[in-house]
Structure 1
Amino acid sequence: MEHHIGQGRKREGASIAVFIGVSFALAWALTLPLWFGDGLREPFARVLVTAMMFAPTVAALIVVFFIEKPKHKARALGLVPLKPAGRLIGYLAIALILPVLLCILALVVASLLGLYPADFIHFSGYQQITEMQLAEAGIAELPVPIGVLVAVQFVNVLIGALFINIIPALGEEIGWRGWLLPKLLRFGPWPAILLSGVIWGLWHTPVILLGHNYPGTPGWLALIAMVVFSTIMGGIFGWLRLRGGSVWPAALAHSTLNAAATLFIVFVAEDGRFDPLHANITGWSGWIIPATLLVLLVTLGKFTPFAPKPAPVTTESSEHG
């Protein structure tokens, strides 16, 4: 018995090693043209960075179909179950709302700490930026009140979360939270969160060193920041994946975060400048609230897979059993 357990652990360890190796190798291979070119300023940079987001799913598919070969492959990837439907819908709703709240609260905290010049009432910076863009297009003034444009930005976040970012986000989440996180849970909640977060953060190395998320920040410091950010937000995504029963809530949360992280442009003050290392959801001040939430979730025992209650055994079913 112990021999079989040991063999299973070795096979699982090999699967994780292959998954990590393929994910990292594909990420570097896809972004290598940017390193030999003009970095993130290359016209095709967005295409390559988006393609990179599918590397974890490719790695997970290789492991599941060619190494592990489980009977229920969709379950191994976190694609199912999709029931109970009410629970799934509830966690999808959380996944759509929570990242937006965390992004806005991150700006509030940064503003209170003097790290983000905010205008939450008149949106003066957003109006200034919009007027400059319209002037370049030959339009003299705003066609509608600034409040309407702010509302449009929130609609854009919703559209981006549901229709634009969701597929690339799923490309990452099938690998990181769909397949990898459940494998690491045997070490306990915190080790699983830390290990998956560090791996996810380091996987971003080829684009972080090119200035993604933290432009102007020394590469080593930007990478540390990305690892911490990935660990905290990856923990939140992991909670949604485990309690929601499948990878879909985590994918939607990831998609929503990518869309909502740009809301800083809406609330910035006129002529306002800030450092993304210190402010916004990517900065250390933006980690305070999600980190507190994550600690609370783990402390309350919520970082565990959802286990549906078994159906009650009726007299009729027991007679036929």
Structure 2
Amino acid sequence: MSIEPTLLHHLFENLNMDAFPDTDGPLERRRLGLFVTFAFGIAWATAGYIYASGGLTDSPTVVEAGPLSLTLAGILLPTAYMFAPGIANVLTRVLTREGWDDLGLSVGFFDHWRAYVAAWFAPGVLTALGAALYFAVFPQYFDPAAESFASAAAGGADVGMSPLALVALTVGAAVVINPLVNAVFGFGEEFGWRAYLLPKLAPLGLQGAVVVQGLIWGAWHWPLIAMGYEYGFDYGGFPWVGFVVFLAFALAAGTFLAWLTLRTGSVWPASLGHGAINATAVVAVVFARGDPDYLLGPLPMGVVSVLPWLALAGYLLSRMEDGAPAARSTSGVPPASSADE
């Protein structure tokens, strides 16, 4: 008697990864050093400017036109900060004369459509599971009718729709539309972290490379965590505990994004997945009320709500073996080259 494969089996087990970097060559230390220096230097300099200008909470408004209001931080974060890794990729290639043959820009949608589906919708599912787990542990913060969110979103004005319709529109846009919009900014990071750093770390072994790139990605966020991003300021051990907790999330989410890149040989699924992670985080707060401790949840980077992400990351890491076939020449994400020029 056969058992029907699960959704997880269809998405992650049946897909034979075919875009592995070569794990046999030496580390390209010069290129790695340059890339990390540029990625961190540009981003952290941007964070320093944001901090000096009022931080994330008191950033000055620079664009105000009717309902549209943009702060300095709101402009610099999705541009200079998020695109720093992608810029680092380009600068490192220019300075070391690496060439442009392995950028990971092939699309391959029809060959890898399951990976694109996973990139688009898995983050929303994982975020919902994490939020449900958080609300099960802390039910006092659960607002099943989303009345608090609807009231805050309307701001006391007549928005021309019922609270339920407003919530449905918000969640629907977060899951279906906003991942595509946010993928533009996600590309700025993924073109650096997953398309460049990940294959360069392949000599550490596939699992080692995935873990290290996730931790580096997490540490890159630390100046933002120190300015209250994700967790605020009111938790014990600020900001050091926040640094550690975010590393756990970055390791988990970075493993998922690395899997998308390794599976397809393209940066685009990871960019979409990154966009979906950012877009669907709102689903967790739609059903929150009161003043939850964001270090614990319900956003996906909380101690409790990150657990589904960590479970998936553990599963994906267990499926990655260093002896897998090397990347095909058309994959986009290259085998690591033998040495610096």
Bin of the TM-score, shorter chain as denominator length: 0.7 to 0.9
- Judged with a 3 Å threshold, the aligned counterparts in structure 2 of structure 1 residues 13 and 285 are, in CA distance, closer, same or farther, namely same
Q: What's the counterpart of residue 5 of structure 1?
A: none
Gaps of 5+ in 1: 1-7, 311-321
Q: Counterparts of 1:144-163 in structure 2 under 5 Å?
A: 144-157=161-174, 158-163=176-181
Q: Match for 1:179 among 196, 201, 208?
A: 196
Deviates more, 1:272-281 or 1:18-27: 272-281
Instruction: Supply the AA of the counterpart residue of 2:34.
Output: V
Aligned residues: 287
Scaled by the length of structure 2, the TM-score of the pair is 0.77
- Judged with a 3 Å threshold, the aligned counterparts in structure 2 of structure 1 residues 116 and 249 are, in CA distance, closer, same or farther, namely farther
Q: Match for 1:228 among 248, 259, 268?
A: 248
Q: What's the counterpart of residue 34 of structure 1?
A: 50
Q: What's the counterpart of residue 129 of structure 1?
A: 152
Deviates more, 1:208-217 or 1:174-183: 208-217
Q: Cα distance, 1:277 vs. partner? A: 0.7
Instruction: Supply the AA of the counterpart residue of 1:175.
Output: G
- Judged with a 3 Å threshold, the aligned counterparts in structure 2 of structure 1 residues 127 and 91 are, in CA distance, closer, same or farther, namely same
Query: Are 2:191 and 2:267, in contact at CA under 8 Å, matched by a contact in 1?
Result: yes
Q: Match for 2:115 among 87, 91, 96?
A: 91
Determine the C-alpha separation between the residues in 2 that align with 1:244 and 1:118.
Answer: 38
- Judged with a 3 Å threshold, the aligned counterparts in structure 2 of structure 1 residues 74 and 253 are, in CA distance, closer, same or farther, namely farther
Q: Cα distance, 1:144 vs. partner? A: 2.4
Q: Cα distance, 1:156 vs. partner? A: 2.4
Rg larger for:
1
SS at match of 1:87: coil
Q: What's the counterpart of residue 86 of structure 2?
A: 57
Q: Cα distance, 1:299 vs. partner? A: 1.6
Instruction: Supply the AA of the counterpart residue of 1:79.
Output: L
- Judged with a 3 Å threshold, the aligned counterparts in structure 2 of structure 1 residues 151 and 90 are, in CA distance, closer, same or farther, namely same
Query: Are 1:243 and 1:305, in contact at CA under 8 Å, matched by a contact in 2?
Result: no
Q: Cα distance, 1:302 vs. partner? A: 7.4
Determine the C-alpha separation between the residues in 1 that align with 2:325 and 2:189.
Answer: 20
Determine the C-alpha separation between the residues in 2 that align with 1:18 and 1:308.
Answer: 27
Q: What's the counterpart of residue 199 of structure 1?
A: 216
Q: What's the counterpart of residue 25 of structure 1?
A: 41
**Percentage identity across paired residues of the two chains:** 29
Q: What's the counterpart of residue 294 of structure 2?
A: 276
Q: What's the counterpart of residue 316 of structure 2?
A: 297
Q: Cα distance, 1:127 vs. partner? A: 3.1
Instruction: Supply the AA of the counterpart residue of 2:292.
Output: F
Instruction: Supply the AA of the counterpart residue of 2:146.
Output: F
Per-residue CA deviation, residues 196-225 of structure 1 (Å, 9 max, x unaligned), is 112111111222211111111411111112
Query: Are 2:206 and 2:321, in contact at CA under 8 Å, matched by a contact in 1?
Result: no
Q: What's the counterpart of residue 78 of structure 1?
A: 104
Q: Cα distance, 1:74 vs. partner? A: 4.7
Instruction: Supply the AA of the counterpart residue of 1:127.
Output: A
Q: Cα distance, 1:307 vs. partner? A: 5.1
Scaled by the length of structure 1, the TM-score of the pair is 0.82
Per-residue CA deviation, residues 212-263 of structure 1 (Å, 9 max, x unaligned), is 1111141111111222211111111111111122111111000111111111
The structure showing larger relative contact order (alpha-carbon pairs under 8 Å, at least 6 residues apart) is: 2
Query: Are 2:255 and 2:316, in contact at CA under 8 Å, matched by a contact in 1?
Result: no
- Judged with a 3 Å threshold, the aligned counterparts in structure 2 of structure 1 residues 244 and 116 are, in CA distance, closer, same or farther, namely farther
Q: Cα distance, 1:309 vs. partner? A: 12
Instruction: Supply the AA of the counterpart residue of 1:87.
Output: D
SS at match of 1:156: helix
Query: Are 2:255 and 2:317, in contact at CA under 8 Å, matched by a contact in 1?
Result: no
Per-residue CA deviation, residues 248-290 of structure 1 (Å, 9 max, x unaligned), is 111100011111111123212xx43211110120101122111
- Judged with a 3 Å threshold, the aligned counterparts in structure 2 of structure 1 residues 199 and 116 are, in CA distance, closer, same or farther, namely farther
Indicate the structure with greater helix content: 1
Instruction: Supply the AA of the counterpart residue of 2:121.
Output: I
Determine the C-alpha separation between the residues in 1 that align with 2:189 and 2:207.
Answer: 21
SS at match of 2:281: helix
Q: Cα distance, 1:190 vs. partner? A: 2.8
Q: What's the counterpart of residue 316 of structure 1?
A: none
Report the aligned-residue RMSD.
2.4
Q: Cα distance, 1:34 vs. partner? A: 1.9
Q: Cα distance, 1:298 vs. partner? A: 2.0
Instruction: Supply the AA of the counterpart residue of 1:14.
Output: R
Q: What's the counterpart of residue 304 of structure 2?
A: 285
Instruction: Supply the AA of the counterpart residue of 1:296.
Output: Y
Gaps of 5+ in 2: 1-24, 60-70, 331-341
